[in-house]
Amino acid sequence: MEDDRRVGDLVRELVHRLHNNSSSSLSNSKPNPSNVKYATRILSSRMTPSIAADEAAMAYSIKSQLVKQGKLSDALSFADLYSKFASKNGPGSVNNKWAVLYLLKVISEDRKSNLKLQSDSSFSGGLPTLFEPETNGHLARVTKDSSGFSRLGKNLDDDGNDDAVSNDNVNGLRHSNSTKFNNGGVLLVSKDPENLRDIAYREFAVIVKEENDVSEEVLVRDVLYACQGIDGKYVKFNETIDGYALLDSIRVPKPTKIMIRKLCELGWLFKKVKGYISESMYKFQDEDVGTVAQAFCAALQDELSEYYKLLAVLQSQSMNPIPLVSDNATSGNYLSLRRLSVWFAEPMVKMRLMAVLVDSCKALKGGAMAGAIHMHAQHGDPLLHGFMKRLLRRVCSPLFEMVRSWVLEGELEDIFSEFFVLGQSVKAESLWREGYKLHPAMLPSFISQSLARRILRTGKSINFLRVCCEDRTWADAATQAAAATGTTTRRGGLGYGETDALESLVTEAAKRIDKHLMDVVYNRYRFKEHCLAIKRYLLLGQGDFVQYLMDIVGPELSEPANTISSFKLSGLLESAIRSSNAQYDDPDVLDRLRVKMMPHSSGDRGWDVFSLDYDARIPLNTVFTGSIMAKYLRIFNFLWKLRRVEHALIGAWKTMKPNLITSHFFTKLPKAVKFRLILTSRRCQVLWNEMNHFLTNLQYYIMFEVLEVSWANFSDEMEAAKDLDDLLAAHDKYLHSIVEKSLLGERSKDLYKTLFMLFDLIIRFRSHADRLYEGIYEFQARTMEDKKMEGVKHSRSKKNMDSDSWESEGRKAITQRAGDFLKNTGQDIDGVSKEYSLLFKGFLSQLPVQQHIDLKFLMFRLDFTEFYGSAS
């Protein structure tokens, strides 16, 4: 009852305001019941202002109007009251505050208008009103046009529905009922008593029928057919314009044709999408479509199924007739072209996007297709973004399953070559380096390059453990990685949009599996011990073994290469191992050490083809591949040549020892021969010292500043290696450092050639020195009376002196012959000395231009007194 009383009070206040009964107070007013009913209909009617419902803007408008009128105190009071009014929320408060403000403003403006009309009696003698109730209870709304005349709007009937009124009937309506005007341009009319409006509607329907050969219902059904890719009776596919269009012989208004053409775009898009699906399904039989493309087609087919459901609903609505304009069918269940355009708004957007995806993915497959579709998902429209996310989850499901299987099981389930990891059949030793590679063309854009490399390495590690190491305990590491990241090892555990979960799983799996792989390589296969064995035997780090080996194989290697037996050399190798500290090494390591004879040509000696080899079996041959062992062979040949030259110089020194020439023999020599012997011996000693200085410093540089420093760095990097790729990179860096610093690189070819020419000169010098001192020993034996017979026997065994001629000649002839021999030998040594000096200076001049700083220090060691630099 309290609510009814409040409503009554509000109605009475509204009527009071509307009729401006200022003469009587609200408490004494007794409004007409018809006015109360009329006011109630106004409040319950659907008349709404044609402005936006903005509470703050309305309050600001009222306040501004008060300020313009000079009522500043009222404006402040209103602002204070509004702030209190707006702050009250919750139960018992007014929800639609904007409507209250708008009502107050309209009432205020209406009162001002009435006050103005009361002061102006020239137009009407009566009291002007804004609204006038009609005898039949209808309310007319009339607005004023730009010419100042009143224009009819819409009437409200008893039910609150709008009834349109034709402007052509204004004159008749003015005479049929009472009409009232005011200066506000408002014309009040009653409902059409002569039913002129219905007559006008019927005339309009006849005109529409005459202008159209086909009814709108038929056109709607044809459009629905076209949207299913089917030609209708009047709307058919036109090859010329590549789309559906109304037949030219059908007469309809141009706007209708345009609307049909726009609506039929959906059919053209549907035909493109459906054609792609049909074509792909046809290729399924030939296995020419990958799993990602199959998932894409399935996702498109699901979207088309939803589209079919919509068309079925629209088809049922199209069976209902379209009512006339005069019929009350605002909410009727019928379908017109305009309603169809509203229904097609969302499907048109989706179908257009699907057609774009179809065009983009025709020539793509696998990861490339998923990446192309992902690029269209970067959209700000929530509708399209959700649609693309749902589509991509279906499309990327096979791709993420491949990733899961590869990372956790090491299985490459890629029949159609869609995965970004490409596998190929190779030997076990090449499995890590060449067995699996990234396929950049199949890498989707939502997976980064770094993540793809980790995925590749994780799967490679599992396959390496399974194939090369014959290890099965890696499965525990993969299971632990999945459990640590909260990911299931079953199918479907990963999907599109879960890139963070994928990266977390890959990172954890890679860390655990790589750690397990490094433990297997280091502990089970003792990688470090084998690297150290190669350093000791192939890089000649085991000094006593190398020296003894060179001593026992030297005579054998001096023979022609084609006469040397590799079996005999293998026996000598075994003798060198048993006679040195190498005998205490691991038997497995010694069993891998073998003699290798390189290919040789005619004229080669055993020194030129002899080498040592190390048998690196699986899985070590992943590191020590054929190309890697070829580099080790180059380094061994260089070091073996260096040791051979050193061995030659040591042999020359043994021959040149001064105490081998007795003082008695020296004092008995003629003065000329004595001078020649001293001069030649001195030249030989000086040249030997120069060569020994060069060879000693070069050997020190190679053995300590190259091999040992590189090994120390390699040992540190081995400890820091987290995966097999790091280990391979560290070993390659170690080997590359030795090759470059040892003058064996591509950039040191000229220097390397000069160095080997110097080695050849040193060996030539050894032969000249041997010949010189053999001659001296022979001359000493021939001239000593107390050892005459022994000297004859010794001279017959020498190949450079004709013993028979020495015996047949006298002492004078022997002395002459000795002088000539010393002279010729001295000239040969001088020639070797000059050639050596020239080559050595050239070698020093090339050192400063080398890339490695260590080679510049080598130059300092070889010429620290700048003797050769000043001499040049």
User: Which pLDDT tens digit goes with each residue over 687-718?
Assistant: 999 999 999 999 999 998 899 999 999 999 99
User: Which pair of tokens denotes residue 822?
Assistant: 């010393």
Residues 6+ apart with CB under 8 A from 817: 805, 806, 809
- Bridge partners of 423? 436
pLDDT of residue 772: 84
pLDDT of residue 558: 87
Query: What confidence tier does 662 reach under pLDDT thresholds 50, 70, 90?
Result: low
Among 234-243, 357-366, 656-665, 852-861, whose mean pLDDT is lowest?
656-665
pLDDT of residue 111: 67
Examine the pLDDT at 642 and tell me if it is beyond 90: yes
**Mean pLDDT, all residues of the chain:** 78
- The more confident residue out of 224 and 65 is 224
Residues 6+ apart with CB under 8 A from 525: 469, 619, 620
Tens digits of per-residue pLDDT, 812-840? 776 777 778 888 888 889 999 999 999 98
- Bridge partners of 244? 237
Examine the pLDDT at 108 and tell me if it is beyond 70: yes
Amino acid at 788: K
Sole residue written with tokens 């050239």: 842
* Arithmetic mean of pLDDT, 445-470: 91
Examine the pLDDT at 389 and tell me if it is beyond 50: yes
Tens digits of per-residue pLDDT, 191-211? 555 667 667 766 766 776 666
pLDDT of residue 810: 55
> CA 72, CA 68: separation in Å to the nearest integer?
9
pLDDT of residue 356: 92
pLDDT of residue 31: 52
- The more confident residue out of 628 and 39 is 628
CB of 701 closer than 8 Å to CB of 846: no
Nearest residue to 20 via CA among 105, 110, 103: 110
Examine the pLDDT at 16 and tell me if it is beyond 70: no
Examine the pLDDT at 525 and tell me if it is beyond 60: yes
pLDDT of residue 206: 73
Number of helical H runs and strand E runs in the chain: 35, 9
Among 41-45, 637-641, 655-659, whose mean pLDDT is lowest?
41-45
Residue 417 gets which letter from DSSP?
S
Examine the pLDDT at 668 and tell me if it is beyond 60: yes
- Bridge partners of 164? 154
Query: What confidence tier does 664 reach under pLDDT thresholds 50, 70, 90?
Result: low
Torsion of the alpha carbons at 420, 424, 428 and 429, rounded to the nearest 10: -80
- The more confident residue out of 599 and 171 is 599
pLDDT of residue 131: 36
pLDDT of residue 164: 38
Phi, psi of 602 (to 5 degrees): -65, 135
pLDDT of residue 21: 40
Tens digits of per-residue pLDDT, 788-821? 544 444 444 444 444 444 444 456 776 777 778 8
Examine the pLDDT at 144 and tell me if it is beyond 60: no
pLDDT of residue 835: 92
pLDDT of residue 17: 52
Query: What confidence tier does 112 reach under pLDDT thresholds 50, 70, 90?
Result: low
DSSP reduced 3-state for 422: strand
Among 33-37, 214-218, 618-622, 800-804, whose mean pLDDT is lowest?
800-804
Cα angle 23-26-28, degrees, rounded to a multiple of 5: 80
Sole residue written with tokens 């017959």: 796
How far from the centroid of its chain's Cα atoms is residue 856's Cα? 43
pLDDT of residue 52: 61
Tens digits of per-residue pLDDT, 596-613? 988 888 878 888 899 999
Among 64-73, 394-403, 443-452, whose mean pLDDT is lowest?
64-73
User: Which pair of tokens denotes residue 855?
Assistant: 């080679």
> CA 536, CA 707: separation in Å to the nearest integer?
11
Examine the pLDDT at 97 and tell me if it is beyond 90: no
pLDDT of residue 289: 79
Query: What confidence tier does 190 reach under pLDDT thresholds 50, 70, 90?
Result: very low
> CA 308, CA 310: separation in Å to the nearest integer?
5
> CA 609, CA 559: separation in Å to the nearest integer?
11
pLDDT of residue 91: 72
Among 33-47, 578-592, 767-781, whose mean pLDDT is lowest?
33-47
DSSP strands (E only) in 599-740: 610-614
DSSP reduced 3-state for 115: helix
Which of 280-289, 570-579, 602-611, 810-819 ranks highest by mean pLDDT? 570-579
Q: Count CB atoms within 10 A of the CB of residue 593.
A: 22
pLDDT of residue 191: 53
Among 244-253, 335-344, 349-358, 658-667, whose mean pLDDT is lowest?
658-667
* Arithmetic mean of pLDDT, 579-590: 92
Examine the pLDDT at 70 and tell me if it is beyond 70: yes
**Quick one: residue 487, left, alpha or beta (phi over 0 = left, psi -120 to 50 = alpha)?**
beta
pLDDT of residue 716: 95
Examine the pLDDT at 424 and tell me if it is beyond 70: yes
CB of 711 closer than 8 Å to CB of 539: no
